[in-house]
Amino acid sequence: MKKVLVFLTVTIGLASFSFTVLNNQQPKPWAVPDNFKKMKNAVSSDAASVKEGKTLWDTHCKSCHGNKGLGDGSKAAQLKTEPGDFSKPFVQTQADGEIFYKITEGRDDMPNFKKKLPEAEDRWNLVNFIRTLKK
């Protein structure tokens, strides 16, 4: 009986640890050129920009990233790579230019938006909206 209790305790502890680690784990590193890391947002983060960013989000991003950026969009389960949780610090602590680069260039399941959103202002509006997704 004692061995069973020890086994169950260890199993539950490992499962809990694994769940915590996996849910807080950052996705694989995404190299961003230094010039983008230092790039300043070209659009002021005001109500109009955030509103425009939300409209673009609803059209281009929500299906994978979800309404609140939690990575739970209607298409998320079909992706090979997890869309990520944009409310987490590993996203929110990135420089605006890093997020802009990722939107612009894409990677894996994440398409690039150079052609879909050819105006840099639109991609900056998305960055400003993404900033509102923090918890």
Residue-wise pLDDT for 109-135, tens only, equals 999 999 999 999 999 999 999 999 987
Residue type, 90: F
Question: What CATH number is given to the structural domain containing 38?
Answer: 1.10.760.10
Q: Is 22 inside a domain boundary?
A: no
Classify residue 62: in a domain, yes or no: yes
Residue 4 lies in a domain: no
15 domain residue, yes or no: no
Domain annotation covers residue 24:
no
pLDDT level of residue 2 (50, 70, 90 thresholds): low
Task: Let me know if residue 3 belongs to a domain.
Answer: no
| pLDDT (average), residues 32-56 | 97
Residue with tokens 């998320």: 76
Total domain count, the chain = 1
**Domain assignment present for 69:** yes
- State percent of the chain over pLDDT 70: 80
Instruction: Kindly report the three-state secondary structure assignment for every residue of the chain.
Output: CHHHHHHHHHHHHHHHHHHHHHHHCCCCCCCCCHHHHCCCCCCCCCHHHHHHHHHHHHHHCHHHHCCCCCCCCCCHHHCCCCCCCCCCHHHHCCCHHHHHHHHHHCECCECCCCCCCCCHHHHHHHHHHHHHHCC
Does a structural domain hold residue 1?
no
Q: Which domain holds residue 79?
A: 29-133
Q: With bands split at pLDDT 50, 70 and 90, how would you rate the model's confidence at 80? A: very high
Q: How confident is the model at residue 18 (pLDDT cuts 50, 70, 90)?
A: very low
80 or 21: which carries more pLDDT confidence?
A: 80
